[in-house]
Amino acid sequence: MSSEKIDQKLQLNWQIGYKIKSRAQILAERNMLGQNGMSYEVLEEAAKSIKGVSGLTCEIGLREGGGTKLIIDSLISVNDFNRTHICIDPFGHLPYPLNETQIVTYDYTNHMRNQAMWELYAYIDDKKINVLFFPLEDFEFFNRFADGVPVYEDSKRMMNQYALVYFDGPHTLAITMNETEFFEPRAPKGAIFVYDDIHDYYDHSKIKEYLTALGWEEIIATNHKASYRKQ
């Protein structure tokens, strides 16, 4: 083989290696799809426990995408493939209700959204999970998709049941209760709700009382998260 052909082969191998690295290693190297909370084992266990329960999975408050990544990884770990997972987050550097008394402006910019979308869709490229992103506030999503989310795969399906919902959006009782009231009648038996930041943000006991009265059972509660299953 001539030196020119050897150089061409080496160049091709380098290009192929670079492409493989771009897909498989860049997220790890750049520490992407990060998490910004605690007690993620509650969410992990919830995602692993819904196998056989029909419906979408959903995260309200995507941010850097770490919660959604954990849900996807957990589903895959128990061979719960071909789910459709939806993410709801407006980004846009908007004022954010941190708790009942504070409205803050975090760095949840459209630049963060662009990074999160690139990282998330690169991550799921070879995985058997369908992910849909809705750049909306929660109430806008509720108004527009009260009759279900259209999912296109071989055919069109209107999906209006939720097997798992992770509530990590604005942390006030009124907003969280409104979210809960939207998803509760759309949750089949066996569905799980997971709530983030349940202490020192709002009175989460009101959410627990509401769900308990409707036949939901608390699975686990930590200082940071709580999960409930519909009986």
The one-letter amino acid code at 158 reads: M
Q: Which of the four pLDDT bands, split at 50, 70 and 90, describes residue 80?
A: very high
Residue 192 is predicted with a pLDDT of: 98
Q: Which of the four pLDDT bands, split at 50, 70 and 90, describes residue 14?
A: very low
Beta strands in 6-140 (DSSP E): 56-60, 83-88, 96-97, 103-104, 129-134
Q: Which of the four pLDDT bands, split at 50, 70 and 90, describes residue 18?
A: very low
Percent of the chain with pLDDT over 90: 74
Residue 102 is predicted with a pLDDT of: 87
* pLDDT surpassing 90 at residue 180: yes
Question: Closest by alpha carbon to 166, among 147, 149, 183, 178?
Answer: 183
Residue 24 is predicted with a pLDDT of: 45
8 Å CB contact between 88 and 183:
no
Count CB neighbours of 25 within 10 A.
10
Q: Give CA–CA dist 216/183, Å, rounded.
A: 13
Higher-confidence position of 177 and 23: 177
pTM: 0.85
Residue 107 is predicted with a pLDDT of: 86
DSSP state of 227: E
Highest mean pLDDT (candidates 13-27, 112-126, 204-218): 204-218
Residues 143-159: what's their mean pLDDT? Answer: 97
Q: Which fold has domain 33-230?
A: Rossmann fold (3.40.50)
Residue 36 is predicted with a pLDDT of: 57
| Average per-residue pLDDT for the chain | 88
